[in-house]
Structure 1
């Protein structure tokens, strides 16, 4: 029998769940079982739980046949618990290091009390941590056990289930369980603390309570907040059944009033049309449950008045705060709204359902995923009008003559964006290009993530240099759909961008041509002999070096070591294209024909299709190239420095797409010996492709057009767009 049963209900927390489980299973105190409850989560929570259960026998997984909500999911786990003590942990929170050892020691010290209350800290997406403001209540509780009557201040703490452990026999004897609905902790916590004969306190932070950037489920606007009334009905029914607890009625009556008024005061809780009803129902419940002779004063006295009186009081309070606000801030707020693009048009004019606006690589032209979606839309849905945003007249001149476009920042651009029903882009629109309410923003990204992104950059000052992370996330707030090529990408984006978009398992549209075995003309245009082996070298930038460029190898030497019959193609990271990297020798080597410089090639798939092998370090191009099922070699000579400075979501040297070289000497030997294309290389590549290209089936662009632009289901079976070759490998099931 384990000492602790940790019950973890899971629903839509896939981005945080691994960290949660690791925080339990990595504890120095190991006498624990984890009962993880998949509450019919629509994301990959269930799969993540199964993976952990396969690796660690202490994890048991319950897959519920239907979504029952947080309270009933906890009950399902509770029924399977075998531990001496119960600990309820939400799937997006974590235990602090050493927490279970500290709890176990305190339980032993106090002789196994019914309940042990410990402290917590709020952790914020931007990296901040703030301890519970009432931590002093635990510090002053003393070394001995107590009851709620003996130390009533314990009830001043946040009435939640997860800052305590509970003796399982005590819970079973009292028959405690969670009710359905919102605020399910209330009719659990009050009865538990009022019933406990021995309570102990631990003045230690044992849990990190994650404060999501977009708030918890209780921050959503819904009529579900009316559930709080029924939950307090349950609390008072509990008191009615236990006359010895009747003296707690005045305290709980006031607590109920304060709690309901707190909900009403928050503007994001209740729909505006329901606020008056919520006040009236609260006032009725408050009057009905009022103890005889109870004195009503302070904030809750407003519940003995009318909705009109409450509103007038709130308006007066807001007016007082508004008078103190600097006029400058008010002017800035209004000015920001006036500058948004859709403000140029009449507010009631609805978006054009047939208008799609595209942009790629900061308005650099017809490129990447947006271009693939655009071409697919022209074939599948010619009635959709596609308009491209380009950065200047020079870029516009490079577009095909039949591609409609507008210049970024122009009045015409603002008007087109204001009318568009759909926006498709691989980088964020500037803040001045606001998304009009009612339009749909499809964000395609620029490859599978290896390096830290978004909010994860907060602890990487070198990589964050020049990056305004809060502004980055405010722009990401406008995303409606985030395209992903794998579950790895889905988890990373949901963690790095804590916003309210929906992940779309479409695959990467730009990679359809790779999966389908398309043929580019790169070799012909550059005069590469048909019998040459083309090796593409694509290094990425370094955040630990000012400017980002570091010469990892001598490309002239590499080209010479490859020998006759080989062509070395070099493609620098786009951020280095205009810097000194090429002037340090690459341009001259390309002029002399020693190497071929493909940095300025606008269409990356053409370069990848021409290459027989890829040599890279940590560039995300490896994930795209893996779709071709051709050899990949990694040069990871500075992996520890790169990972420390930028951060990486996986150890690419432990799960590589091919052989790993840790020096130029090893790389040269790899090619000289022919090992770069041996059976081990193929095995590593297959595992890599299975993990990171799992949604790549050659139909990504079609899937985006049909499901996100047209709202249609994907047709069954392999479907080929007109003019496309047959898929290079069997299509996967439709997303």
Structure 2
């Protein structure tokens, strides 16, 4: 008896069925049977199912003699199911990787409930992926399992069968089946949730719900949409069968009224000749099942009342009037914006007639996301080294609180911002300057760049269309021609910037100003940052920050963060941070709401994240150069090296000059942490060579060097503190830490065997001995026994 019976009905989905079935059979949890039902599809669906059945014994093909519809096709699959739990999946949708393993773990964790509800994300034909907006209702907080009365908000989720798995014995005992016709999920979802003695939730995307451009069932106009009335009649007949279910009648009445309003307002569902009949039947439906006194907001009650009274012309007039008002407001707002823009352009022209002020400096970072980065460090150095220069900071309206006291806050696009843009002598930014900027004689433009270039940048992207995207290289060169100074962290950066950004500017090779904080911070600062993130004091915090993949439409973490945290064990916390640069879309870098996984993608203080962590796991991100200044362990995870190099290109062969040990897949990565090789002497040697090559100037005074060179004109830089004498902020790794990591047999001890951090496992018999840490283990890494977690 398999754990899951995955039922996939197929009708005219030949273009998507292969991907759907493959997403099931490639699951990391193999204990399943796949019941693929060919609903007499006129295309090649039946042949595709037979091909998969011949390839994999877990596939059980079912061919129906005539087309019966989605509901009866699912029933045919259920009648042949033998698994503990039923999983429904439409033929054009897919399961996410490791979805069934996560579902199985949650079922075991919650004691095998009757129903488990999980989340989904809509995947559009454009490549965008957007998670369900009601995901908060699936929070795993509180007792589990529970009954519907404890979490009634589940009734407001999408009424579908494929966002939940149901115990087969529970379904058979109550005789649940799908009715014929459209909207067949409605009389299934509500009764199943109401009858379930135990329900649990899983706050993770397990299904990708495909949004087809054309051809979906609900997006095809026709009289079949009138089936919605019969489906709700079945729901209310179910309520009538048990007086104890009357408590749900007001909720279902409102859900029905809202659903009918949605169907009527969608132009892709009801043909013109059916709309009047639909409203007439909707009026009868709402009158028949009306619940007096049901609470609802006034606009909702008005909409329901108009439909119930059959005032379809009034309803249509009000909808048209509402749309007209929105259109009028939009035109008015557009005119006001045009007038405001003209006034601001005139103001900017006027300000450019006034002299440039040598005591003013304007700073900004990419996308105006607050105070930080190299411009933030330079702004602080301006106030300490040349205090006579008044600084201003350009920041988006919602992030003004992120700017510390000292600089004047100006919002881009306002009159104050245009004034600073026109009259400030020093303009500092880590991204292209605003195209509206007209550089004046006497103004000094300082470009700080975005860190040490490891991947191709500038004009080199002309040969990398995937990475270049919609880059306007002519505009890039116009911006380069305005630069006066470019900051560089090391010789590699200097040579790269001069080549990929050809211009007449001068390169100020002084280090990375944003890393100065690492040399000034104390142990108390590290502890405070960990407390702000909620990292336990006895945990190893892993900052996982992969680079953006230019060859992908959507961005996702290469590692399964929830599974990684589970395999590493309770002593590790993963701080997941995705690249928020250009091209990132809503829904990218989805982080599961899982124990010991913290989403820090939107965290405004990247140096604070580095201080809070004990080790960095990355691949090709320039952050590794910043992190090397901290002299803390760095681990590389480069499983897709060839694909990344083909799309973006690399200046540095990280396999030859890696800042630490490298892993190609998840097993090797877990093995590095299990064996202690992530922080042994070999890793320290790699990191030391990397620091010597890429961090020669980063001794805590990089910003001061840049200000003295750019503002004061000093040609001799400040003396550099040798690497051996630098004292970065200490890590917060507890004095006694012992981890238990289930590692592969070839990479460490058997699963569950405690292994002290910093200690290498004994080599297999007959194998060469690996390098072991020389000398005593540092006091901060000495092991202590841990108490196993309670079951």
Which TM-score applies when normalising by structure 2? Answer: 0.46
Which TM-score applies when normalising by structure 1? Answer: 0.49
